[in-house]
Amino acid sequence: MQTLTVRHVTQYTYANPVTFQPHRLMLRPRDSHDLRLVGANISLFPHGNIRWMHDVFGNSVAVVDFVEPSDELKIESLLTLERYGLGGLDFEIEESATSYPFVYSPDDRIDLGRMLDPHHPDPQGELEAWAKGFIAARPTDTMALLTDINNSIHKGFSYNLRFEEGTQPPLETLRLGTGSCRDFALLLIETARALGFGARFVTGYLYDPALDGGDSALVGAGATHAWADIYLPGAGWVEFDPTNGTIAADNLIRVAVTRDPSQAVPVAGGFTGLTGDYLGMSVDVSVRCVRPEEPLAA
């Protein structure tokens, strides 16, 4: 078990005071058997009234109504949590699903629903052909197949940290051979769906031991991170991080899971002002391990 602190600051600046529309924040993880939330605090400038809700996926969402105009908007989230490692790849897949292709049970198919269906156009079948290129034989080992796809994105594509809103369509990522963590996650999700797997999008944070003096250096540790969940009977939802080529890694801090990346924006909202008022945005994320002798974040 590791005790981790996460500080996530999003700051917007404007040329003149503007009026803020309601903002939607997805910054709070849910307690689970592998993650325990010890403390959570959101600070706002200017002042805002927060109300909490669960979205259709059960994620915690804060809706903020700001009460006064300002030429600056600052949202700071501080988390303290305990992350429990579950043994990496030490999980059991049902015998009926250890070889691909396999068929989900009727109940699983109903519950997975749209997470089984590709969401992005593939008119020439490029993505489908790319996906089927990983199938060396029928049947083939399920985990070997998914590992090959995950590793192929990790090793064959160039990481590019993008601050633009939105996610690249998977065909664009495939053709460019470059993208951000959310682009790679979506490519893996659509590839898995093209092969009949249930898959969903995960957003959260990544702890890199190198930031605390460790040896490994991971990609995506200085910002919010994104990866994919793929549903395997018996094992459940298994986390695949194509950005770093890892599977079921215990350094991933899950905040929200959704069907599509557009549903998992950490901070979303608008403002009312004049053309040219918006000057820019900055995001700062730090994830640190708390040593036993250190005090927890307030």
Q: What is the pTM of this model?
A: 0.93
Q: What are phi and psi of 21, to 5 degrees?
A: -80, 165
Contact between 177 and 157 (Cβ < 8 Å):
yes
Confidence category of residue 173, pLDDT binned at 50, 70, 90: very high
CB proximity list for 257: less than 8 A, separation 6 or greater: 57, 59, 200, 201, 202, 229, 237, 264
Which two three-digit tokens encode residue 127?
């993505």
Q: CA 218, CA 216: separation in Å to the nearest integer? A: 6
What is the per-residue pLDDT for 65? 98
Structure tokens at 123: 């008119």
Side by side, which strands form the sheet with 246-247? Answer: 246-247, 236-241, 225-232, 199-206, 252-258
Tell me if residue 148 falls in helix, strand or coil: helix
Structure tokens that stand for 283 in this block = 């995001």
Write the burial class of residue 128 (CB in 10 Å: 0-12 exposed, 13-18 middle, 19+ buried): middle
Please tell me the predicted confidence (pLDDT) of residue 219: 81
Bond prior to 69 in cis (omega within 30° of 0) = no
User: What pLDDT, in 10s, does the model give residues 274-295?
Assistant: 999 999 999 999 999 987 665 5
Section 69-87 average pLDDT? 92
Is 20 in contact with 68 (CB distance < 8 Å)?
A: no
pLDDT in tens, 113-123: 999 999 999 99
- Longest C-alpha distance within the chain, in Å? 63
Could you report the per-residue pLDDT of 220-273, keeping only the tens digit for each?
A: 776 799 999 999 999 999 999 999 999 999 899 999 999 999 999 999 999 999
Which residue, chain included where needed, has tokens 């699983």?
108
Contact (CB, 8 A) for 198 and 240:
no
3-state class (DSSP) for residue 25:
strand
In this structure, what DSSP letter does residue 33 have? Answer: S
Element (H, E) at 132: helix 126-132
Q: Give pLDDT tens digits for 94-130.
A: 999 999 999 999 999 999 999 999 999 999 999 999 9
Interval 2-12: pLDDT, tens = 999 999 999 99
